[in-house]
Amino acid sequence: DCMEKKVPSHRLQSHYSFTKELVPPFVTPGSPYDSICPRFVHAAVNKNRSPVHVCTWYPNGRRLLTGSLAGEMTIWNGQAFHSENVMQAHNGGIKAMKWTPDESVMVSGDQLGVIKLWDQYIYNFQTFQAHKESICDIAIAPTGLKFCSCADDSHAKVWDLRTGEEERAFTGHGWDVKCCSWHPTKGLVATGSK
């Protein structure tokens, strides 16, 4: 009953038995309620059992990428929930993964402070040592030209996405910097620490 009050009455409501047929919200822009999952759908386990620290959907919504503590990146089929590919992406545990707004580049960071840039086919085209400690979060600028990384070394840094060069380091935190977020319309970065 509570769903009927929030949703216009002329819209049809999905039944929980159709959970496996749910599609990403962009498929039904006129009715985002059709993409609300009312219950647990599926659990999957990789060949090498390792905790998953981060996951992100492919821009098209058909596949899911997960990053594990063992440094493995797994590509999962978003419909059938089976693994399509497993690769050793990092030497340390993967802690952050974010796509650029134009969906052409994914940035990932690991426990060893290494950042890797990947194209849409998950081909690694650039790798560099960004921090001395574990990376905690990555934020991409709305323009897609810069990104921010933060880590347990008490630094947040802004990078040029094209060159991989550090543009600025923020050292105001006296402790581990755990999260960062880029303002959606301004050149403003917020960071948070312990």
Supply the pTM of this predicted model. Answer: 0.78
Give residue 8's pLDDT.
54
Round the CA-based radius of gyration of the chain to a whole number and report it.
Answer: 19
Tell me what pLDDT residue 22 has: 64
What's the longest Cα–Cα distance across the chain?
56
Residue 5 has pLDDT above 50, yes or no: no
At 3, is the pLDDT very low, low, confident or very high (cuts 50, 70, 90)? very low
pLDDT in tens, 85-120: 999 999 999 999 999 999 899 999 999 999 999 999
**pLDDT tens-digit map of 128-185:** 999 999 999 999 999 999 999 999 999 999 999 999 999 999 988 889 999 999 999 9
pLDDT above 60 for 1: no
Distance, C-alpha 181 to centroid of its chain: 13
What is the sign of the dihedral through the CA atoms of 110, 130, 91 and 66?
positive
Which tokens is 88 given? 């050793």
Domains of the chain listed by start with CATH number? 2-35 (no CATH), 52-193 (2.130.10.10)
For the residues of 43-100, what is the DSSP string, one character each? ----SS---EEEEEE-TTSSEEEEEETTSEEEEEETTT--EEEEEE--SS-EEEEEE-
Q: Which DSSP helix (H) or strand (E) runs through 6? A: helix 2-6
Measured CA to CA, the distance from residue 171 to residue 188 in angstroms comes to: 16
